[in-house]
Amino acid sequence: MSQGWIKIELLPGDKFTTPIRWSLIARDITARLWRRAGHRATACCHGLWRRFVPATLRIQLYRVLGFLGSHWYGPNCSLKVQHLPFGLYLKTKFAEHHQSLVNEQAALQLVRQHTNVPVPCPLDLVSDARTSFLLMTRAPGIRLGACIDTLCDDEADVLAHDLQQCLGELRAVPRYDDAAALSISNALGEPLYDHRVNMGTSSDLDHSDFKGPFANEDEFNQRIANADSPPRSRT
């Protein structure tokens, strides 16, 4: 089921199933409204939380929640991400990579603002001398990796359609600056932080983990082509 309106074809004279279908539509709309209201209320509460609670106390609480989450839910697929109580997730980075979480927060906000793609809501971003913490809500649904092997053909077709719709919405997200519409950068118009780019560029050219921004695709490709990484095998 996609995130847009549900299209249902009603058969003429179907007096029994029509009310049931409309009741299901009403239930789905109500559930979506409640989820949106809940996200707004959560964001409002965390706005007050960030404003009135010192960063040191928030960090201590996030460490405690991370400890509890690791015991209750076990480790996540990523060592940097931990499932927390209350439907939350916590992502951590070394302090020197704090800017990557700044970009991730901005990217999530950008997607939430311009699309209907279901993504987590960033709630707090805080850092101490060693570690940066990004607190976010849990995205609705079940992780695809836990159920993709059990999908039937019809469900796989629905998944493919929904992914195409999500990609189309993401490609239509406007740039932060019309003047830089062709540039390649992060969500804030700043250098990229991506391990795929870092592995494909020369460490002698730039010792930083942040690359760019690049004026256009040609400049980006030229940077990758000039890397001194070993060639890949064609076998």
Q: How confident is the model at residue 222 (pLDDT cuts 50, 70, 90)?
A: confident
pLDDT for the residue 167: 96
- Beta-strand relationship, 88-94 and 122-127: unpaired
Q: How many CA atoms lie within 13 A of 135 on its CB side?
A: 25
- Domain boundaries defined on the chain: 54-141, 145-225
Model confidence band, residue 163 (pLDDT cutoffs 50, 70, 90): very high
What pLDDT is recorded for position 21? 52
Q: Which of 36-40, 160-164, 166-170 has the lowest mean pLDDT?
A: 36-40
Cα separation of 192 and 212, whole Å? Answer: 6
Mean pLDDT of 222-234: 61
The mean-pLDDT minimum among 122-136, 144-158, 221-235 falls in 221-235
pLDDT of residue 215: 85
Count of alpha carbons within 13 angstroms of residue 76, beta-carbon side? 16
**What pLDDT score was predicted for residue 171?**
92
Average pLDDT score, the chain: 79
Residue 233: pLDDT band (50, 70, 90) is very low
On the question of pLDDT at 87 being above 50, the answer is yes
Element (H, E) at 167: helix 153-171
Residue 137 predicted with pLDDT over 90: yes
Does pLDDT of 234 surpass 70?
A: no
Residue 146: pLDDT band by 50, 70, 90 thresholds? confident
Please tell me the number of Cα atoms within 13 Å of 221 on its side-chain side: 3
Note the pLDDT of residue 49: 78
pLDDT at residue 34 is higher than 60: no
DSSP 53: S
Among 3.40.50.300, 3.30.200.20, 3.60.15.10, 3.40.50.920, what is the CATH number of 54-141?
3.30.200.20
Residue 75 has pLDDT above 70, yes or no: yes
CA–CA distance from 49 to each of 85, 158, 230 (Å)? 17, 39, 49
Reference 125, options 155, 151, 93, 156; nearest CA is 93
